[in-house]
Structure 1
Amino acid sequence: MKNIFYYGFSKKETNDRFDIYYDKDAKLQYFNNLLSFNQNISTEELIKIEKEYVQRLEKNNQLNSLLTFPFNIPIDPNIYRVLSENGYDIQVQEVYSVKPEVFLTMNKVIREDISISFVNNKTLTEAGKYGYEIALPFGINYANFKQNNFIPKQFLDERTEIIIAKFNDKIIGILYLHETDDYIELDGFNVNEKYQHQKVGTSMQIFAMQYAMRKNGKEVFLISDSEDTPRIMYKKQGYILQGFYYYAQKNLT
């Protein structure tokens, strides 16, 4: 399985057992600062590596610790226990993919009363405000980060497009599209709760799939929590489960 994970502007350090991604400007963004194991390790190794990693994070005033584990390998029960005892929340994420032509064949209904477009210079401020609103339940600092740092940097990233859906000239949905030479990842999918289950999300994905078709039909990936309801919808839309990985996260404050 190729590495489909997008780490934004994070820098990377690597060795034979794990990779470390870090972005000093994105302390509030879990997946911009993480340690990713690329092979199985013993419980003793985990304890040593995690301790040194947390010390590094605290020295740099990082706010969160995030660990990810090898693709399609269940986490060792002893490692699960040790992490839980040390305050980590452990979850599973699933990776799905679909060929854009398959999605477009299976999903033809589109909302004609909403407008879907890529964010541009004229709509960037509005997109930032929407990002602030949906992030606010997680704290004002995180909301400010989304509006003033994350979204502007995503807009400037040549590998990323930001898709917005508007109804009555007001943003009701947002979706990030990250592109590499081989594939496209959909990320940060959000539709205003008032407009969910009304084909808004499907219409946004159709827009993204049409873009993928213009890019030589690149395969499209997305990641979903294994317990989230949307993953059921993704399967109905034509996505195929490619695998899973465990991750563990905790707040250091």
Structure 2
Amino acid sequence: MDIHKEGEVVFDTARFRHYHDPKMLSRYDSNFIAFKEMPNKKEFSDTEKYLQEYHVARGQKHVKFVFPPNEKLDDSLLTNLSSEGYDTGFTELYKINPRDFPGYEMQKEIEIAHVGANQLEDFLTLNYQQDLVFGSAFASMKQENNRSHFKDSAFGQVIAYYNGVPAGGLVAILKEQTVEIDGLFVLPEFQRKQIAAHLQQFVMKSFPEKTVILLADGEDTPREMYKKQNYEYVSFQYETVKVFEED
């Protein structure tokens, strides 16, 4: 299934595909290399050297690598990544037919809406709050990214209000056969009120003819919620990131 990648492909080889986004240089998920086949130690080292030089030349302070789907990293590679300061984890891909999503009775306190001109500033402010954990520079760059998506029909922004107060949101990325739920979040003070479930239900009702997909952190608790909501596990994929300082 085609998961959206924000960066553009700048280099494509038999071994890997290099994604880069000059407008969001600090966003790991937009600037990385995806291996097409599992690299050996030398292949990884050569590719790492290439990406680090590419990023340093552009003022970027990270390298990220995504490994082929459904392939586990062997112990020697994991040990080497750990010793070199990499943070390694995995994501899981889930899918669901909208008719299989459990029904939630709409609560009068909750309002879900497509983001239009009247909701845009609320949506931007919410996301800025959420993105501040990655720093104010990143949060500001992400604002421009969100404004660009607002004008793009391939992206559907959705916002949740609780008693009239902006509480959470998501982005629905539209493809021919699928809708990908991306960036689903609820502010801490509004969690445990079924707002995330209502946001998802809004997507299911908006696109009943498409397969809904999403990525979950393989070690986070939301994946358990998706299983209870009848999402079907599809695949896993390892990835690793290292943050460095320029010399």
TM bucket, shorter chain: over 0.9
Equivalent residues of 1:107, 1:202 under 8 A apart: no
Which residue number corresponds to residue 152 of structure 2?
157
Equivalent residues of 1:176, 1:189 under 8 A apart: yes
Equivalent residues of 1:165, 1:173 under 8 A apart: yes
Which residue number corresponds to residue 237 of structure 2?
245
Report the alpha carbon displacement of residue 111 of structure 1 after superposing the two structures with TM.
2.4
Which amino acid in structure 1 is aligned with residue 28 of structure 2? Y
Report 1:196-211 matches (<5 A): 196-211=191-206
Which amino acid in structure 2 is aligned with residue 233 of structure 1? M
Q: Structure 1: any 5+ residue segments left out of the alignment?
A: none
Pair 1:101 & 2:96 matched: no
Residue of 109, 129, 132 corresponding to 1:133? 129
Pair 1:185 & 2:180 matched: yes
Report the alpha carbon displacement of residue 116 of structure 1 after superposing the two structures with TM.
0.8
Equivalent residues of 2:7, 2:19 under 8 A apart: no
Determine the C-alpha separation between the residues in 2 that align with 1:220 and 1:101.
10
Report the alpha carbon displacement of residue 185 of structure 1 after superposing the two structures with TM.
0.7
Determine the C-alpha separation between the residues in 1 that align with 2:24 and 2:91.
22
Which residue number corresponds to residue 62 of structure 1?
60
Q: 10-19 or 64-73: which moved more?
A: 10-19
Q: Which portions of structure 1, spanning 4 or more consecutive aligned residues, are displaced by more than 4 angstroms?
A: none
Q: Percent identity?
A: 28
Which residue number corresponds to residue 236 of structure 1?
228
Q: Structure 2: any 5+ residue segments left out of the alignment?
A: none
Report the alpha carbon displacement of residue 12 of structure 1 after superposing the two structures with TM.
4.3
Equivalent residues of 1:46, 1:79 under 8 A apart: no
Report 1:69-84 matches (<5 A): 69-84=67-82
Report the alpha carbon displacement of residue 224 of structure 1 after superposing the two structures with TM.
0.7
Which amino acid in structure 1 is aligned with residue 173 of structure 2? H
Q: 234-243 or 192-201: which moved more?
A: 192-201
Aligned residues: 245
Determine the C-alpha separation between the residues in 2 that align with 1:236 and 1:168.
27
Q: 221-230 or 120-129: which moved more?
A: 120-129
Report the alpha carbon displacement of residue 9 of structure 1 after superposing the two structures with TM.
5.0
TM-score (norm 2): 0.94
Residue of 161, 170, 175 corresponding to 1:175? 170
| SS at structure 2 position matched to 1:57 | helix
Which residue number corresponds to residue 166 of structure 1?
161
Q: Deviations over 1:175-234 (max 9, x none)?
A: 011011121110101001122121111111110001121xxx111111111111111110
What is the root-mean-square deviation in Å for CA atoms of aligned residues? Answer: 1.4
Pair 1:15 & 2:13 matched: yes
Determine the C-alpha separation between the residues in 1 that align with 2:16 and 2:107.
44
Which amino acid in structure 1 is aligned with residue 216 of structure 2? S
